[in-house]
Amino acid sequence: MLTSHTMFKKIGLIAKPDDIHVKEALVQVIRFLKKRGLDIAIDQQCARQLNKKEIEGLKLLDSENRDLLISIGGDGTLLHAAHKLPNFDVRLLGINLGKLGFLTDISPADIDGELDRILNGEFIEEQRAILSCSVVRDGRVLTTHNALNDAVIQKWDTARLITFDTYVNDIFVNRQRSDGVIVSTPTGSTAYALSCGGPILHPGLNAIALVPICPHTLSNRPIVVDGSSKITVEVSTPEAEHARLTCDGDVKFALAQDDQITIERSERFIRLIHPKDHDYYATLRAKLQWG
């Protein structure tokens, strides 16, 4: 066993379920970390993909703090990992086996070399903004959720458009009829918001994008506001449960008429790390096929 001088001693692993390519990468990561003599904990999805010999000596990931959390899969797996962080001081790293990989930028072929450099402190760290989203009904907060990518108010179980009013810092912006609205962080600007015609925001910007989904009024365009703004969306659609709040793609709450959804930047942030040669614009060129 090699003596480890890494700055990370306790490593947590989270994997996309039921994917043979993920299992191969997972076994490779575990083998590498074991050689470094590190404390390794895995989530249930990892455990289901490993045999008895492969799982030997590993802990089950729980609420115990880790120094580094590694997600193995796509951007969705990393988002899942972000929501599993026991606290927001844990750094997060992604190994990409997904379709896009805007957040997960280590390829399976580079695992050993990149992990070796990262564990020795050669990496770039970014602070990625988180949105805090609350549903208020009759003056009472019913539920609150975090979103690293986006909070989406959208129609549900209906072919009809939904109606809602949007406010920024309690100042009325507009009333619209559409399939919904995406309230996106810069991180989420290359996700669902991009497919709806939203702008690409550099992750270092302190900004929030409001992107309409299939608006009935064609002059309704995306708006970018200051990241310290409070966004309020008030649902006017009279049919109960024909609108939903989703955060990072997960359905969180069924909305009723007159519900207010307040969305603000959280005081906390995600500590996302990349290889030292990470280039954001090179990632855009590759993923969006800009040439």
List active site positions.
75
CA distance 150 to 248: 5
Is there a contact between 95 and 81 (Cβ–Cβ < 8 Å)? no
Whole-angstrom Cα Rg for the chain: 21
Chain Cα centroid distance, residue 97:
16
* Backbone φ and ψ of 8, nearest 5°: -110, 120
Pairing of strands 243-247, 250-255: antiparallel
Q: Which pair of tokens denotes residue 271?
A: 């500590």
